[in-house]
Structure 1
Amino acid sequence: MSSDTPDLPSEVADRVRNVRVEDEMEQSYIDYAMSVIAGRALPDVRDGLKPVHRRILYAMHRAGITSGASHRKSSNIVGDTMGDFHPHGDSSIYDALARMAQDFSMRYPLVDGQGNFGSVDGDPPAAMRYTEARMAPIAEELLADIDMDTVDWKSNYDDRLQEPEVLPSAFPNLLVNGSSGIAVGMSTNIPPHNLGEVIDATVELIENPDATVEDLMEHVKGPDFPTGANIVGHNAVHAAYKTGRGRIRVRAEYEVEEREKGSDRIIITELPFQTNKARMIEKIADSVNEGSIEGIRDLRDESDRDGIRIVVELKQNAMVEVVKNQLLESYLEKTFGVINLALVDGEPKVLSLKETLRHYLDHRKDVVRRRSQYELAEKEDRAHILEGRLTALEHADDVVDIIQDAEDRDEAKADLKAEYEFSDEQVDHIVRMQLGSLTSMEAAEIESEYEDVQARIERLETILGDESELLSVIKEELLEVKDEYDDDRRTSFIEDTDEVTREDLIAEEDVVVVVTEQDYVKRMPVSQFDAQNRGGKGIIGGDIKEGDRVSKVFRANTHDYLLCFTNQGQVYRLKTYEIPEMSRTARGKSAINLLDLDDGEEITAVVNTDDFEDDEYLAMVTREGMVNRTVASDFDNILSTGIIAARLEDGDELVDVKVTDGTTDLLIATRNGMAIRFDESEVTATGRRTKGVNGVKLRDGDAVAGMVTATDDDDRSLLTVTEHGYGKRTPLTEYGTQSRYGYGLTDIKTGDRNGGVTSVKAVAPDDHLIIMSEDGQIMRIRAADISEVGRNTMGVKVMEVEGDDSVATVDVIPEANGTDEPTETVEREE
């Protein structure tokens, strides 16, 4: 503080904190992001509503604008919502209100609108002063029992009123009506479903808590869009329900009308969800005028209140199938990207179908439990009053005399309490009793009511004391909602009738790919190899040609794209299923049939990837320790003849390639047991065809064996395997980061027993390993079976290699289930 700055009062100075600007910006942005996520953009898994929708419905409930009331001006509803609960613009509130009234946006509209609330052509709703609204009957099911202490409450924005944190929600609204929204750094897109199917699945989960997603899909066939149309295939739906994410193809409903006189025509009667009909027709017309679609002579929109009808008149000589496929490819089919993201306890989570229903059931259990407790307290109070009245009826003459003899009500109450031990509540009711209630008929009615109240108390106590009874109540109420509002499914399923490609005929499975120095290659299912105990010699993995030896083994999925890097710095791209599948004992086929390899060129590294992200890189290391880092997108388009990945010095060879994200460390291991770890940013990202920079210093006779990537909080281990079948795991944290181009640290002791290092991998304990020798022996073991020790140790026997054979290569099966029983019981102490 400068000398001319006035001193601050001590009470003010005590409140001043020195804060780094970047820290304050980071925290403030996080606070803002969470406010948007929780307070605006994402629905709650319990009632499926965002705050604005919840506040609109509660404001209507509070104002009595129910389904049985008359319609109220939308501007009135918006004003009440904005003034009492939602301190944002009126346009955003009205947009939300209007959407809840659109039968083409919501599968089960929550608002009964009167007036123009927009159309499927993209027309906006009329101004709020012109439209009217009230709650739809099904919306009242979301608010049922809200006044019975079923949910938690919070203060509104100015602390004048209380608003519900969530609605009781008598049905799983998140799935039934779906939701969409964009928050900060995340978005949600949940499709609507058929109410009856969702309730049946919920009942299934009540009756069978261990039900799988497949079991639930026996009820929930798939999304049920308000605009109907057709879902193409079932696989994407299954993936979306299992993982919470998926891409569902939705195709318009149409038919080809063949006419004896005149040209044929295509009649479109249903459109994919969220398709702007007018804009789609306009684009089709533009394509016809531009000549990109041929064979259409007329295009008409004959839609009315009864439904959609778009007529595509074809020319006399038009090829119907060609026109139909052109329309399907560009206009009549859309992809709905499912992101089942919702707030769970205030945190955004991507949920499977089962998780979504499970969280809803947990909410309903809490609602029914709290409702039962609330009602039980009321019934107990009522029973207490009735017990007092019954006692008074039994002693009616004495009670009347006591009241008559009393000077005033207070004295009568005191005398009655002294005589019969009535409570204050009971005596208050007794002194207010009318003489007419002393008749035998009135007494019988009180006794009947008392019996009913006692029966209800017993039922409520049973519900609160028995989880199964609580669930039976939830089940019963769900089925009542189904009986009231269930309707037929609108969206159908069709099989994918597109042309069947070779990929469609290949089963998607994990395989082991084996490559030899003379470029023989084959693939085998991973399932052929059971996990063994370490120290075994494995089983035959290939009939290696004399003079040849195994150079590479790796795991991939049959539908994966592979980038195959060669020792000469070239890279080729192919699909795993293009590699021939052969038996364990087969030699394989020449890779020349797949890749345009030169003489002496062999595959030394494989990267398993589809399309790279923009912020990813490929880090490459050579035998002599040169490191090159190239933006991964440079490898998106690879010619069938391959492209140059890196420029190599004479006599040098490419050894290993890894994918990085710009924030990782590179750890390079050498054949003589050294290892160096440094930040990848020390290697400037360059284009292909560059030589790179020095990554590691090598002593005479040493060479690079491999490379792994690591992060600061990486809890994996570095697996090091030597030629003679020994190996060890060491936590990656034991390899300190240093500047590149040093000798590094001692990783493993090499020598006559171990031989040189042949492979290094970053592994987790749950991973499985595929190890193969140069002569073709292959084995699968658990990473956890290899001891985790410090650096500069000898390691333990991993694989038994015989004679002149040696370990050629190792690959990782990430996080294998580890349930395979060992096929050998060999245990060796080293």
Structure 2
Amino acid sequence: MDPNSESSVIDTPFDAALSERYLVYALSTITARSLPDVRDGLKPVHRRLLWAMRLLRLDPAGAYKKSARVVGDVIGKYHPHGDQSVYDAMVRLAQDFALRYPLVDGQGNFGNIDGDNAAAYRYTEAKLTPVAMALMAGIDEGAVDFRPTYNGEEEEPEVFPGLFPNLLANGASGIAVGMATSIPPHNVSELIEAAIKLIEEPKTDDRDILQIVKGPDFPTGGKLVDDPQTIERAYVSGRGSFRLRATVEKVAEKGGGWHLLVTEIPYGVQKSKLIEQIAELIGEKKLPILADVRDESADDLRIILEPRARTVDAALLEESLYRLTDLEVRFPLNLNVLDENRTPVVMSLKEALSAWLKFQIEVLVRKSQVRIGKIDDRLELLDGFLIAFLNLDRVIEIIRTEDEPKPVLMTEFSLSDRQAEAILNMRLRSLRRLEEMEIGREREKLAKEREELVKLVAEFPRQRRRLKKDLEALKQQFGDYRRTRIEEVAATREIDWSAMIEKEPITVILSQRGWIRAMRGHVALDDAETLKFREGDALDTIFHAQTTDRLALFAANGRVYTLGGDKLPGGRGFGEPVRLSIDLDAEVDIVELMVIRADTKLLIASSDGKGFLTSGEATLAETRKGKQLVNLRSGARVAVVRQVPEGADAVSVVGENRKMLVFPISELPELARGQGVTLQRYRDGGLSDVIAFRLTDGLSWALGGESGRTRTETDLSPWRAARGAAGRMPPIGFPRSNKFD
């Protein structure tokens, strides 16, 4: 078809064309790239790597060959992808800290647990491991189907038939389209014991299997600290996660000192990045009770953690490290695999083991049937040889006298074409008497083997017994001890971070333009006039605090932010814009900054007269974005945030219309977040100020001028009404600013 002609243009909806093409890509990614096969636990790239190495005769007993040779064969014959991606897959198969049972024996730099990359493939060499050979065992015995390679020039196996339970023993991970897989490694001895249990009792449930397979067994060791119920839920559903900790012990030193020694780190954590993470905590003083971290690793892993002082609580330091670093991680479980029909399925532990056992029974039967066929072919030839020996003189005569001896032999002795051809191809030395006896013995042996194989193919109980026997032999060859210990530990407790901060007095200063600083010590608040600010700026808030305090910053848009007293910039200079520490837009005003504690009671009111009570705990926000505390109506803003004094039983509100209202504080709800209720009703304007107080103490306000005197109004009965009323004009002498202080 001419690409320039109009007939080459296909008119189709764009969404249909896009969907069709994306579906093809998605299916290819799922079935031919990212998900392992439940039968051999391999993705196509890993299977092709091992197959290419087998054809290169890179057996465990043989010599190493350059990795470049292997990669070249793989991408040239079987896997038309990038050489670096193929080599990366090969490197992982050789890393004993990545695979519980490595499939490639690497020589040279194949990377390390620090996270260093492997050397280029021209510098490294490789061959197969005994585990890989066990995984491919039987591939020459007709146990599995072969398919053409991508260019049709070669053939590759669809799956490996070997008995080694690679899917669960080595695990797998991958991200496909719309789905992913994450399978941790397990101990092969436990897997084989569980498989034997399933062979003996097929109705065994997941709980019984989990009495044998305790949980993942990572090559880097560590401790699995989840409770048995969590582990069971993950394995039964096929989805979940495991809490994995490093192995940490307290080591006593001479003189009463001590340090923490890390000898195993969680699976998948790079040692160098872990040490950088801990060093960053020390440098930024996020963990003041930790003084130093040292890497003393050689062939074994040794990370030394020095406390700030010998009086530091070792358990607290350890718990803090688990919370703040990758000394504790979560490893996901998503047992998503391709089943025998190459369909992605999330399986439970029992389903995965059962699917693998079913495949192994099929392999056993298929190998037996192929072997029976080969025995039949051999017996046919041996029967022909025996006929020839019994009629040796006549056979020789026919060969010597006939121009075409083959049809004559076939007719006279009722031989098949293959038998006649084999007799004619016999060497003279084979005509000796000893050869005839050896043929008889071979025939007898093969007949007996055939009889046993026929029974094996026909009887399922024999197949189960044979598989059980083979599994026990496999366990003897590859079984080892568990590396990851199962130790149920409670979740890391909430840590009082203030206990780790050196308590020092500070004076917090916030300017009108939002510049914040903390001066050392408690500066006299009366000396605030001596403070310096940037041109055009002035003091907004000043108060005393401690470095261990947490400060709450309330913004006009209803959000609240938390600042640590120890994190504030120093008092030298003008400080720093507080907006550098939190995500607060420049156009949003700061309403209040105060020391906050969990038991603090707050009264919050918005400009439209809505308000509520809240606790200090509800205002604490752990991120730069803060948290939304007040849900504001359109056009409204947060106007007042005040602490509620202990024993306060009344609330007084004054509006911009200069009307005041007093009502019981019990009429206000306490919310963690919300809009609140109406405090005062307005026709024009909005709320000016609000305060909580003791009714018996009355309301006090400062008188004008330099006298410093205050006035107290104790008889507030004229202004007392139900919440939401309009109120009346305030007492004589109330500040013209409409503020209570």
TM-score of the aligned structures, taking structure 1 as reference length? 0.58
Aligned residues: 500
Deviation of 1:499 after TM superposition, in Å, equals 7.1
Gapped regions of structure 1 (runs ≥ 5)? 1-7, 502-638, 649-830
Structure 1 match to 2:421: 428
Deviation of 1:321 after TM superposition, in Å, equals 1.8
- Which residue identity lines up with residue 335 of structure 2 in the other structure? N
- Which residue identity lines up with residue 210 of structure 1 in the other structure? K
Deviation of 1:647 after TM superposition, in Å, equals 11
Selected match of 1:258 from 230, 238, 252: 252
- Which residue identity lines up with residue 289 of structure 2 in the other structure? G
Deviation of 1:14 after TM superposition, in Å, equals 7.4
Selected match of 2:149 from 152, 156, 164: 156
Selected match of 2:476 from 476, 483, 488: 483
Deviation of 1:13 after TM superposition, in Å, equals 7.4
Map 1:277-296 to 2 at 5 A: 277-296=271-290
Structure 1 match to 2:405: 412
1:202 and 2:198 matched: no
1:355 and 2:351 matched: yes
Structure 2 match to 1:662: none
Distance 1:246 1:499 in 2: 19
Distance 1:171 1:91 in 2: 28
Structure 1 match to 2:116: 123
Structure 1 match to 2:671: 641
1:301 and 2:333 matched: no
Structure 1 match to 2:365: 369
For the Cα contact (< 8 Å) 1:46–1:169, is it kept in 2? no
Structure 2 match to 1:383: 379
For the Cα contact (< 8 Å) 1:255–1:268, is it kept in 2? yes
How big is each residue's C-alpha offset from its partner over 1:571-607, in whole Å with a ceiling of 9 and x where there is no partner?
A: xxxxxxxxxxxxxxxxxxxxxxxxxxxxxxxxxxxxx
Structure 2 match to 1:29: 22
- Which residue identity lines up with residue 176 of structure 1 in the other structure? A
Map 1:176-575 to 2 at 5 A: 176-232=169-225, 233-305=227-299, 307-314=300-307, 315-331=309-325, 332-344=327-339, 345-407=341-403, 411-498=404-491
Distance 2:373 2:66 in 1: 39
Q: Which has the larger radius of gyration?
A: 2
Secondary structure, aligned partner of 2:260: strand
Are residues 320 and 381 of structure 1, via their aligned partners in 2, closer, same or farther at CA, if it must alter by over 3 Å? same
Distance 1:39 1:403 in 2: 58
Instruction: Give the number of the structure whose residues are more often helix, by fraction.
Output: 2
Structure 2 match to 1:90: 83
Secondary structure, aligned partner of 2:333: strand
Deviation of 1:149 after TM superposition, in Å, equals 2.3
Structure 2 match to 1:556: none
How big is each residue's C-alpha offset from its partner over 1:785-830, in whole Å with a ceiling of 9 and x where there is no partner?
A: xxxxxxxxxxxxxxxxxxxxxxxxxxxxxxxxxxxxxxxxxxxxxx
1:60 and 2:53 matched: yes
Distance 2:364 2:425 in 1: 35
Are residues 424 and 288 of structure 1, via their aligned partners in 2, closer, same or farther at CA, if it must alter by over 3 Å? same
Selected match of 1:77 from 70, 87, 100: 70
Distance 2:151 2:672 in 1: 67
Structure 1 match to 2:727: none
For the Cα contact (< 8 Å) 1:204–1:211, is it kept in 2? yes
Deviation of 1:295 after TM superposition, in Å, equals 2.8
For the Cα contact (< 8 Å) 2:322–2:492, is it kept in 1? no
Deviation of 1:174 after TM superposition, in Å, equals 0.6
Deviation of 1:245 after TM superposition, in Å, equals 0.6
Are residues 49 and 68 of structure 1, via their aligned partners in 2, closer, same or farther at CA, if it must alter by over 3 Å? same
Distance 1:430 1:290 in 2: 89
Are residues 645 and 343 of structure 1, via their aligned partners in 2, closer, same or farther at CA, if it must alter by over 3 Å? farther
Are residues 452 and 13 of structure 1, via their aligned partners in 2, closer, same or farther at CA, if it must alter by over 3 Å? farther
Secondary structure, aligned partner of 2:263: strand
Deviation of 1:64 after TM superposition, in Å, equals 1.3
For the Cα contact (< 8 Å) 2:398–2:405, is it kept in 1? yes
- Which residue identity lines up with residue 46 of structure 1 in the other structure? R
Out of 332-341 and 309-318, give the one that drifted further.
Answer: 309-318
Distance 1:136 1:499 in 2: 41
Q: Which aligned runs of 4 or more in structure 1 are off by greater than 6 angstroms?
A: 8-15, 645-648
- Which residue identity lines up with residue 377 of structure 2 in the other structure? D
- Which residue identity lines up with residue 464 of structure 1 in the other structure? V
- Which residue identity lines up with residue 304 of structure 1 in the other structure? A
Structure 1 match to 2:613: none
Deviation of 1:381 after TM superposition, in Å, equals 0.3
Are residues 420 and 322 of structure 1, via their aligned partners in 2, closer, same or farther at CA, if it must alter by over 3 Å? same
Deviation of 1:354 after TM superposition, in Å, equals 1.0
How big is each residue's C-alpha offset from its partner over 1:356-379, in whole Å with a ceiling of 9 and x where there is no partner?
A: 112112222222222112111111
Deviation of 1:284 after TM superposition, in Å, equals 0.6
- Which residue identity lines up with residue 290 of structure 2 in the other structure? I
Distance 2:127 2:364 in 1: 27
Out of 487-496 and 199-208, give the one that drifted further.
Answer: 199-208
Secondary structure, aligned partner of 2:186: coil
Distance 1:92 1:243 in 2: 32
Map 1:164-179 to 2 at 5 A: 164-179=157-172
Map 1:605-620 to 2 at 5 A: none
Distance 1:432 1:133 in 2: 43
Secondary structure, aligned partner of 2:177: coil
Distance 1:146 1:500 in 2: 53
Distance 2:147 2:231 in 1: 38
Distance 2:677 2:26 in 1: 45
Deviation of 1:257 after TM superposition, in Å, equals 1.0
TM-score of the aligned structures, taking structure 2 as reference length? 0.65
- Which residue identity lines up with residue 300 of structure 1 in the other structure? R
For the Cα contact (< 8 Å) 1:263–1:313, is it kept in 2? no
Structure 1 match to 2:546: none
For the Cα contact (< 8 Å) 1:231–1:494, is it kept in 2? yes
Distance 1:646 1:25 in 2: 50
Distance 1:414 1:165 in 2: 43
For the Cα contact (< 8 Å) 1:294–1:323, is it kept in 2? no
Distance 1:27 1:271 in 2: 46
Are residues 158 and 645 of structure 1, via their aligned partners in 2, closer, same or farther at CA, if it must alter by over 3 Å? farther
Distance 1:23 1:9 in 2: 24
- Which residue identity lines up with residue 59 of structure 1 in the other structure? A
How big is each residue's C-alpha offset from its partner over 1:413-433, in whole Å with a ceiling of 9 and x where there is no partner?
A: 222222211111111222233
Distance 1:219 1:18 in 2: 61
Gapped regions of structure 2 (runs ≥ 5)? 495-668, 679-741
How big is each residue's C-alpha offset from its partner over 1:495-554, in whole Å with a ceiling of 9 and x where there is no partner?
A: 2145799xxxxxxxxxxxxxxxxxxxxxxxxxxxxxxxxxxxxxxxxxxxxxxxxxxxxx
Deviation of 1:16 after TM superposition, in Å, equals 5.6
Distance 2:199 2:294 in 1: 50
Deviation of 1:441 after TM superposition, in Å, equals 2.4
1:19 and 2:21 matched: no
Structure 1 match to 2:729: none
Secondary structure, aligned partner of 2:439: helix
RMSD of the alignment, in Å? Answer: 2.4
Secondary structure, aligned partner of 2:364: helix
Distance 1:368 1:499 in 2: 49
Secondary structure, aligned partner of 1:163: strand
Are residues 285 and 187 of structure 1, via their aligned partners in 2, closer, same or farther at CA, if it must alter by over 3 Å? same
Distance 2:417 2:30 in 1: 51
For the Cα contact (< 8 Å) 2:319–2:492, is it kept in 1? no
Structure 2 match to 1:582: none
Secondary structure, aligned partner of 1:415: helix
